[in-house]
Amino acid sequence: MSKPKANQGYGDVEAGPVLTPRFIVAIVLGVLGIAWIVYYYLAVRVDPTAVPAPEAGSPAFMADLGNWNYLIGFGLLLLGLGVAAHPSTPLGRGRGVVVGMLACFLIGLFWICTYYVFSNDPASIPVMNDLEQYNLVVGIAFMAVGFTYATRWE
Q: Give residue 77's identity as a one-letter amino acid code.
A: L
Phi and psi of 8, rounded to 5°? Answer: -105, 135
CA 108 to chain centre: 9
> How many domains, in total, are found in the chain?
1
Whole-model pTM?
0.84
Query: Which ranges in the chain belong to alpha helices (H)?
Result: 21-39, 60-65, 68-83, 95-117, 128-131, 134-150
- Which residues, at least 6 apart from 91, have a Cβ–Cβ distance to it below 8 Å? 23, 26, 84, 85, 97, 99, 100, 149
pLDDT band at 54 (very low <50, low <70, confident <90, very high): confident
Query: 64 lies in a domain?
Result: yes
Is 9 inside any structural domain?
Answer: no
Q: How does residue 13 score in pLDDT terms, banded at 50, 70 and 90?
A: very low
Looking at the domain assignment, is residue 3 inside a domain? no
- In a domain, residue 49? The reply is yes
Look at residues 9, 23, 19 and name the one whose alpha carbon lies nearest to residue 86: 23
Tell whether the model's pLDDT for residue 113 goes beyond 60. Answer: yes
Domain that holds residue 123: 18-150
Residue 6's pLDDT band (boundaries 50, 70, 90)?
A: low
Instruction: Evaluate whether residue 6 is within a structural domain.
Output: no
For the segment 61-87, the average pLDDT, to the nearest whole number, is 94
Give domain status of residue 40, yes or no: yes
Q: How far apart are CA 22 and CA 33, in angstroms?
A: 16
Kindly state whether residue 101 falls inside one of the protein's structural domains. Answer: yes
Task: Tell whether 41 is covered by a domain.
Answer: yes
At residue 124 the predicted structure's pLDDT band, cuts being 50, 70 and 90, is: confident
Mean pLDDT of 46-74: 85
- pLDDT number for residue 114: 94
